[in-house]
Chains A and B, each alone.
Chain A
């Protein structure tokens, strides 16, 4: 069964510093990987996805993620965090042949001014 682990409940980072949100996954076969962001009282907004090809994926708002097959990871990164990046971040995976996304529990990111 497909699953995702986001090991940290909260990530605190100073504004201007690099931001990393960790994600590891478990699937049978090749994974399709996603990152979403949720602002308070809002729905999920798509950031980026890995389907195939280049392991480094660039997405919205300056975010990027690196697919690492050997470590089964898909960490989200941003070189310089903004206060407005404070939100809840979800990693998700879909395995081939499965119709739905499996989400991690989410990471609260707090960017400190």
Chain B
């Protein structure tokens, strides 16, 4: 157990639907990062939050949004889902805003049918 908890582990949903992925960072970590892993794109950075505020944005679609709550857990919302959104979504956490110590969760596997 890495200390970063992601739920659910697996999610199957239909096109056009909306889902929410949840991440609880390791105790004491203030930064949360979201990554998408797909076969064709590899590991792509989506977005980072630090202590509740958005800090960096990557290749995140407008249909996707995220937030970090006061208890530091984060949620990634994916809407108007398409088949191409099927991927493994990872959350990572770190203590600082810019860090060299990251801890990754085990991911949420999203399948859009």
Contacts and interface: CB of A to CB of B under 8 A. Distances in A.
Interface of A: 32, 34, 36, 42-46, 49, 51, 90, 94, 97-106
A100 B90 contact: no
A104 B42 contact: yes
Interface string B25-53: 00000010101000000110100101000
A106 B37 CA distance: 11
A94 B92 CA distance: 15
A99 B48 contact: yes
Contacts, number: 51
B43 A99 contact: no
A94 B106 contact: no
Contact of B42 (A45, A49, A101, A105): A105
A99 B97 contact: yes
Given A43-B104, A46-B103, 18 more contacts: A42-B106, A43-B90, A43-B105, A44-B92, A44-B104, A45-B2, A49-B100, A94-B98, A94-B100, A99-B48, A99-B50, A99-B56, A99-B97, A101-B45, A101-B102, A102-B45, A103-B35, A105-B42
Complex A-B, nearest 9 residue pairs according to Cβ-Cβ distance, in ascending order: A103-B43, A43-B106, A105-B42, A44-B104, A99-B56, A43-B104, A100-B45, A99-B98, A32-B100
A101 B90 CA distance: 13
Interface string B65-101: 0000000000000000000000000101000011010
A49 B101 CA distance: 9
A43 B92 CA distance: 10
B108 to A, nearest CB: 10
Contacts of B104: 36, 43-46
